[in-house]
Amino acid sequence: MRTVHTLKELRAILASYRQQGKRIGLVPTMGNLHEGHLALVEKARQAADVVVTSIFVNPMQFGANEDLDSYPRTLQDDQDKLEAAGNTLVFAPSANEVYPNGLARHTKITVPEVSEGHCGATRPGHFEGVATVVTMLFNMVQPDVAVFGEKDFQQLAVIRKLVADLVMPVEIIGAPTVRDADGLAKSSRNGYLSAEERRLAPVLHQTMTAIGQRLTQGETDHAGLEEEARQGLMSAGFRPDYITIVNSQTLKPARPEDTELTILVAAFLGTTRLIDNLSVMRQIPT
């Protein structure tokens, strides 16, 4: 496995693979890798001959007072994990390599509709930063396929629309959320949790599961379920950001006649912001 830090190096290596007719896969990450990231690499290995994992803490997708400066940077450990996972190439550029003229002067990409609401509402500019850097990575790597985790459900929807609207020749694969045994979704930010917060954290998944069971059984009082979940999370020590039941395809608030539903949740536990989601099928009585 090789690691490169510049676009020139990256393109030279990938040109050689393309001449050999190799299919190229991309796994974009911000590093501090865990089992969830490695599952994405495995998905990419199944779909491509060459797997490129990018490691770049993208400043454009962090808002004011977010954790850009404190976000863990663990390149050596990440490289060790990726090599063991069968990754082919690591692309770990600097911010200057990606944004040589600075953020303020850089072209930005906005994906309408699916970027709105949920994380898009509480983290202004976040998905603009995501869409911009993903577009750049697609142009840099020119992958045949790219793999993203379903834990970031809204982000995956944004990327799918971005690729469709801009007619990008990239197949997007969504990979299921990887969880700890107690249900907590794997996340680089889990490391911020204190021991007591980590003990409480699985309540987030338990809350979604309880709502999902009731939706599956046909319950349609979405506002009531959302408020009940919000109160339950607050009682458990969380500070809810949002908890919303949406149509899985549009990410708009679910209607009683919708059958494909997703519960989107974001909540703070201490200073750590956790996100998660759960998709269910509702049976509509005939």
Tokens of 186: 């794997």
Using alpha carbons, select from 209, 216, 57, 230 the residue that is nearest to residue 130: 57
What are the DSSP E strand ranges found in the chain? 2-4, 24-29, 50-55, 89-91, 145-149, 171-175, 239-247, 260-269, 272-281
Q: CB neighbours of 228 closer than 8 A, spacing ≥ 6?
A: none
- Catalytic positions: 37
Q: Which residues pair with 175 in a beta bridge?
A: 149
What is the distance between the alpha carbons of residues 85 and 83, in angstroms, rounded to a whole number? 5
Are the C-beta atoms of 49 and 22 separated by less than 8 Å? yes
Using one digit for the tens of pLDDT, what is the confidence trace for 164-185?
A: 999 999 999 999 999 999 999 9
- Predicted model pTM: 0.95
Are the C-beta atoms of 79 and 3 separated by less than 8 Å? yes
Using one digit for the tens of pLDDT, what is the confidence trace for 187-217?
A: 999 999 999 999 999 999 999 999 999 999 9
What is the distance between the alpha carbons of residues 262 and 260, in angstroms, rounded to a whole number? 7
Q: In what order do the strands lie in the sheet with 24-29?
A: 2-4, 89-91, 50-55, 24-29, 145-149, 171-175
CA distance readout (Å), 187 to 171, 214, 276: 24, 27, 10
What is the distance between the alpha carbons of residues 21 and 6, in angstroms, rounded to a whole number? 23
pLDDT of 286 reads 61
What is the distance between the alpha carbons of residues 280 and 282, in angstroms, rounded to a whole number? 6
SS3 260: strand
Q: What are phi and psi of 152, to 5 degrees?
A: -90, 75
- Mean pLDDT across the stretch 66-89? 96
From the number of C-beta atoms within 10 Å of its C-beta (0-12, 13-18, 19+), residue 126 rates as buried
Using one digit for the tens of pLDDT, what is the confidence trace for 86-140?
A: 999 999 999 999 999 999 999 999 999 999 999 999 999 999 999 999 999 999 9
Are the C-beta atoms of 88 and 52 separated by less than 8 Å? yes
pLDDT of 285 reads 64
Using one digit for the tens of pLDDT, what is the confidence trace for 18-68?
A: 999 999 999 999 999 999 999 999 999 999 999 999 999 999 999 988 999
- Going from the N-terminus, what domains does the chain have, and what CATH number goes with each? 2-175 (3.40.50.620), 188-277 (3.30.1300.10)
Using one digit for the tens of pLDDT, what is the confidence trace for 212-264?
A: 999 999 999 999 999 999 999 999 999 999 999 999 999 999 999 999 999 99
pLDDT of 65 reads 84
What is the distance between the alpha carbons of residues 19 and 33, in angstroms, rounded to a whole number? 31
Tokens of 33: 């890798």
pLDDT of 283 reads 80
From the number of C-beta atoms within 10 Å of its C-beta (0-12, 13-18, 19+), residue 24 rates as buried
Match 């679910």 to its residue by tokens: 254
